Amino acid sequence: MISIREARISDVGRITEIYNWAIINTTATFDLDEQTVDKRMEWFEHYGGRHPLIVAEADGKIVGYSSLSKFRDKEAYARTVEVSVYIDPEYHGKGIGSILLKEIIERGRQLGHHVIMAGITAGNDVSVRLHEKFGFVLCGHFKELGFKFNKWQDVLFYQLTL
């Protein structure tokens, strides 16, 4: 059984492990170097209130997380957020991304956000399908924004208006 809860500072080590796997193995993030727990502690401080960070637990283990982050710093963007979802590779394909995305969208709605944006690297069809399942629509295709794995990567921007 999967349970969802707010992330705690004690979760940062496990969140870092999941994120570092994505750095090394995927284009889901454009970070190139693994993060330290101390660095992720600084990242963790940006969450809470209008920017939730949630985790999924299975069998007493954190198996994924999702967050709503500031989209841009300017005040007019205050009700627009960017979503992130990361899953432990051992739990890919088990519906955890859907559970997390559904919950984080609902929290965004309750917090009064107007738009949720998702930046998805072109070729990440699993993430595209996940976001489309929840009503996200393609609103931009940006060419060669990031260089990772010796290749220029395109980024697709998807939008959900709440």
Quote the CA–CA distance of 17 and 1 in Å, as a whole number. 22
pLDDT of residue 59: 87
Quote the CA–CA distance of 116 and 90 in Å, as a whole number. 27
The pLDDT tens digits for 88-145 are 999 999 999 999 999 999 999 999 999 999 999 999 999 999 999 999 999 999 999 9
Whole-prediction pTM value? 0.95
Q: Answer yes or no: is pLDDT of 6 > 90.
A: yes
**Cα dihedral 42, 48, 50, 54 in deg (nearest 10):** 100
Hey, where are the domains in the chain? 2-161
Q: Which amino acid is at 162?
A: L
Picking from 38, 131, 49, 45, the residue whose alpha carbon sits closest to that of residue 84 is 131
The pair of structure tokens assigned to 49 is 């209130």
- Non-local CB neighbours of 10 within 8 Å, separated by 6+ positions: none
Question: What phi-psi label fits residue 73: left (phi over 0), alpha (psi between -120 and 50 degrees) or beta?
Answer: alpha
| CA distances, 7 to each of 27, 91, 125, 145 (Å) | 24, 18, 27, 30
Structural contact between residues 70 and 51, judged by C-beta atoms closer than 8 angstroms: yes
2-161 folds as Aminopeptidase (3.40.630)
User: What is the average pLDDT across 43-49?
Assistant: 95
Quote the CA–CA distance of 6 and 54 in Å, as a whole number. 4
